[in-house]
């Protein structure tokens, strides 16, 4: 299977925070942001694999600062590494205040996606070819995160969880 550069999977989504997206404080709902993050990651996985992809796991999502009504949300997703059938996607979120011109990093997440066939069976994922120093670092770190995920899953299974 021929590998693909990480840059070919890159997705940048832009969303405007509207009243229906906010809580009583006028902040973007965490669930709405997670929804957008999941969509961006799914698009990156699909772009890389050329197949329908489903979410296998979300490691963690951190909310560093609130995103307000009227802010523009920029969501950047890229496949960091592909394993046999799974792909790790890194998602970075930035908010932009269009009235003041300020921008800030607000959230980060790592998600795992799997390409599936019409029967829901996992398909092999094309390898990632990291080209830049950042892509190479992300590629190496992805293997460490995967090892941590697998160890945690095994520990939970051994406890009967």
Residue partners of 22: CB distance under 8 A and separation at least 6: 28, 29, 68, 69
Predicted TM-score (pTM) of the model is 0.93
Q: In this model, does residue 161 exceed pLDDT 80? A: no
Q: How confident is the model at residue 137 (pLDDT cuts 50, 70, 90)?
A: very high
Which pLDDT does position 156 carry in this prediction? 87
Whether the per-residue pLDDT at 98 is higher than 90: the answer is yes
Residue 1 has pLDDT above 80, yes or no: no
Would the pLDDT of 48 be above 70? yes
Instruction: Give residue-wise pLDDT tens across range 49-81.
Output: 999 999 999 988 989 999 999 999 999 999 999
Rounded-to-integer distance, Cα 83 and Cα 114, Å: 10
At 1 the three-state DSSP class reads coil
Please name every residue paired with 8 in a beta bridge, in sequence order, or none if there are none.
none
Q: What is the pLDDT of residue 60?
A: 84
* Among candidate residues 42, 109, 33, the one with its CA nearest the CA of residue 74: 33
- pLDDT at position 20: 98
In DSSP notation, 18-87 reads: -GGGB-TTSBBPHHHHHHHHHHHHHHHHHHHHSS-EEEEEEEEEEE-S--BTT-EEEEEEEEEEE-SSEE
Domain spanning 4-158, CATH architecture: Roll (3.10)
3-45 confidence digits (pLDDT tens): 999 999 999 999 999 999 999 999 999 999 999 999 999 999 9
Whole-number mean pLDDT of the chain? 96
What percentage of the chain reaches a pLDDT higher than 70? 99
User: Helices H, strands E: what count in the chain?
Assistant: 2, 7
**What pLDDT is attached to residue 101?**
93
CA 53 to chain centre: 12
**In the chain, where are the structural domains located?**
4-158
- pLDDT at position 4: 96
């Amino acid at each position: 299977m021929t590998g693909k550069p990480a840059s070919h999977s890159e997705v940048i989504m832009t969303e405007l925070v509207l009243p229906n997206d906010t809580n009583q404080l006028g902040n973007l709902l965490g669930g709405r942001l997670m929804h957008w993050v999941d969509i961006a990651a799914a698009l990156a996985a699909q772009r890389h694999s050329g197949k329908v992809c489903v979410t296998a796991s979300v490691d963690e999502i951190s909310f560093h600062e609130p995103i307000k009504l009227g802010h523009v949300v920029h969501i950047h997703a890229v496949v960091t590494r592909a394993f046999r059938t799974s792909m790790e996607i890194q998602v970075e979120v930035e908010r932009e205040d269009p009235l003041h011109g300020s921008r800030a990093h607000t959230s980060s997440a790592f998600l795992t996606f799997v390409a599936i066939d019409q029967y829901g069976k996992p398909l092999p994922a094309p390898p990632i070819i990291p080209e830049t120093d950042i892509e190479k670092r992300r590629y190496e770190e992805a293997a460490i995160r995967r090892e941590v995920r697998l160890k945690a899953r095994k520990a939970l299974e051994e406890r009967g969880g």
